[in-house]
Chains A and B, each alone.
Chain A
């Protein structure tokens, strides 16, 4: 068939074969690029400007003066973050709280994931379902549930007072302890699921071999099970640690006024002080710290995909 006698449909088909691949890649690529990557560049830009009473509340970075463009970079926001110890405290607190919560979540989640992976067929899917279900239920409501339990007039205090174990109510809500409970509680499914998927794929005969060769059960666990489940441990820990560093809802609802965390600081700078440049600088500083764990997480994800294919 001569090429100048193509019908519209044939032309469309040819065009699709030539450009379809680009289109399928391009549309999600463009969306994520515009609404996920570009915003970070704007945050970076605004972190270098000065807050002012205007709409929007910051000075422009680029200005047209006499047909030339001048760029005013202002490092004041970052110097301010360094000079006020409030921010450093909030940072270190967030990292410490996130790290401790991650370890507690791992200690609770590992035996659970192991137990589920070793359960019999139908029981296993039921248990897995029970882990996934809370993950689908509202995060906000799961945090809220602990207010009623940990409060001064909450259920634990009511129960302990009733049994006579204590005579004065314990202060549990509005403490760092409550924040740990909240993070461990809401993020536990994120830890169990990746752990389960590595433990479930593991070859049980390796442990049997180790036991046959004279390993004690704990040695077999440390030398065989633990190293083989390392990808799951890392993926689960990063899935808990990274979002926990920037957590806002949990410290706000369960923590006290002294529980400084960086997510809360950013929120207050933005909503209470309406200082967008400082909030941006806080976000950039948090990202600089998180970029390594995030890239590590992506690396683990990619490796896992390659193994599956």
Chain B
């Protein structure tokens, strides 16, 4: 009976992971296809990568996306870290329910609503106070920072909740100031979560099509917007090549990051065990 159940679970896992990975693998394989048709394998070629790198519009859009991604991930970290800290360490305060609502809601809010509402905010602000003058990279950065900050807050909060509070309390008993406790004790301990939060924000920003389309202006076309307009017409081998590059970059980044996180955790465990002994 147990055997039957584990057979079921194993086949569920095998089918599930095949479902998740086969489409991605096909995109990677067909990016090396010589021919233009998806279904016909016409031999190995890297010519689509060459034509991708000669596509100036695509390269410009990629630069825009990278700049927005780095800026908004960094800003989201600066805003999301205190937000996560507040949620897990500050106890009750006036307006806490609304605060937690403003952190949870961006995670599930349909993107068309977020995009439209931010655009209307920018237009209204421009009418009232003259800022932001026009729309472009800066408005996209603000939009991305807002929803990425919510993700960072959740990551930081869950890290802090799983963390031993006694070290911070000991430091407080010994008379350390709150700011010092945060920078000397809490920050180093949540460093892996901060790295994860930054990377998550960066990839979310790099990937966003809908919100960016609403708040973009002339000359601020991002990579997803470029991809979307060419994908609407069907499969293109150049997009396959781009997709392969994105998938490879992200996978390498994730593997390195999880290696770093694992190592820091192992070192912390060793330190903790050492002090116990």
Known contacts: A32-B149, A145-B26, A308-B162. The answer to whether A127 contacts B13 by CB under 8 A is yes
Known: A36-B102, A297-B104. A24 touches B23 (CB 8 A): no
Q: Mark B22-65, 1 if CB is under 8 A from A, else 0.
A: 01101100100000011100000000000000000000000000
Closest to A150 in B: B23
Chain B's interface: helix, strand, loop or mixed, by majority? helix
Cβ 8 A contact of A147, one of B80, B145, B234, B258: B234
Please give me the residue from chain A that is nearest to B152 by CB atom: A28
Tell me whether A28 and B177 are in contact (CB under 8 A). Answer: no
Within 8 A of A (CB), among B95-117: 95, 99-114, 116-117
Measured between beta carbons, the chain B residues less than 8 angstroms from A112 are 12-13, 16-17
What is the minimal beta-carbon distance from B134 to any residue of chain A, in angstroms? 12
Q: Which residues of B contact A302 (CB under 8 A)?
A: 100, 104
Using Cβ atoms and an 8 Å threshold, which residues of chain B touch A215? none
Contact stretch, chosen from A68-76, A81-89, A226-234, A275-283: A275-283
Which stretch, B82-90, B166-174, B187-195, B267-275, touches the partner chain A?
Answer: B82-90
Whether A294 pairs with B85 at a CB distance below 8 angstroms is no
Task: Identify A28's interface contact among B6, B82, B231, CB under 8 A.
Answer: B82
Q: Could you tell me if A305 and B87 are in contact, using CB atoms closer than 8 angstroms?
A: yes
Asked if B207 contacts A115 (CB within 8 A), the reply is: no
B207 touches A32 (CB 8 A): no
B19 near A308 with CB under 8 A, answer: no
**Interface contact B207-A140, CB-CB below 8 Å:** yes
- Is A17 within 8 A of B112, CB to CB? no
A25 to B239, CA, bound (A): 43
Task: Answer yes or no: A79 CB below 8 A from chain B CBs.
Answer: no
Contacts of A132 in B (CB 8 A): 254
Chain B 109-134, CB-CB to A under 8 Å as 1, else 0, gives 11111101110110110010000000
Given the complex of chains A and B, what is the CA–CA distance between A32 and B121 in angstroms?
A: 13
Whether B203 lies near A136 (C-beta < 8 A) is yes
- Please tell me if the beta carbons of A25 and B93 are within 8 angstroms of each other in the complex: yes
Count residues of chain A with CB under 8 A from any CB of chain B. Answer: 95
Q: Within the complex, what minimum Cβ distance (angstroms) separates A199 from chain B?
A: 12
Taking the closest CB of chain B, its distance from the CB of A149, in whole angstroms, is 6
Interface status of A256 (Cβ within 8 A of chain B): no
Min CB–CB distance B154 → chain A (angstroms): 8
Contact of B206 among A134, A138, A248 (CB under 8 A): A138
A→B interface (CB under 8 Å): 13, 16-17, 20-21, 24-25, 27-29, 31-40, 42-43, 46, 56, 108-109, 111-112, 114-116, 118, 127, 129-134, 136-142, 144-149, 151, 153-155, 157-158, 185, 188-189, 217, 238-239, 242-243, 245-249, 252-253, 263, 266-267, 270-271, 276, 279-280, 283, 286-287, 290, 293-295, 297-298, 301-302, 305, 308-309
16 of the cross-chain contacts (CB-CB < 8 Å) are A21-B90, A24-B86, A25-B99, A27-B79, A28-B83, A35-B121, A40-B117, A42-B120, A111-B16, A115-B10, A130-B17, A131-B20, A246-B112, A249-B209, A283-B116, A305-B87
Closest A-B pairs by Cβ, 8 of them? A246-B110, A39-B117, A111-B12, A145-B23, A115-B9, A28-B83, A158-B39, A298-B104
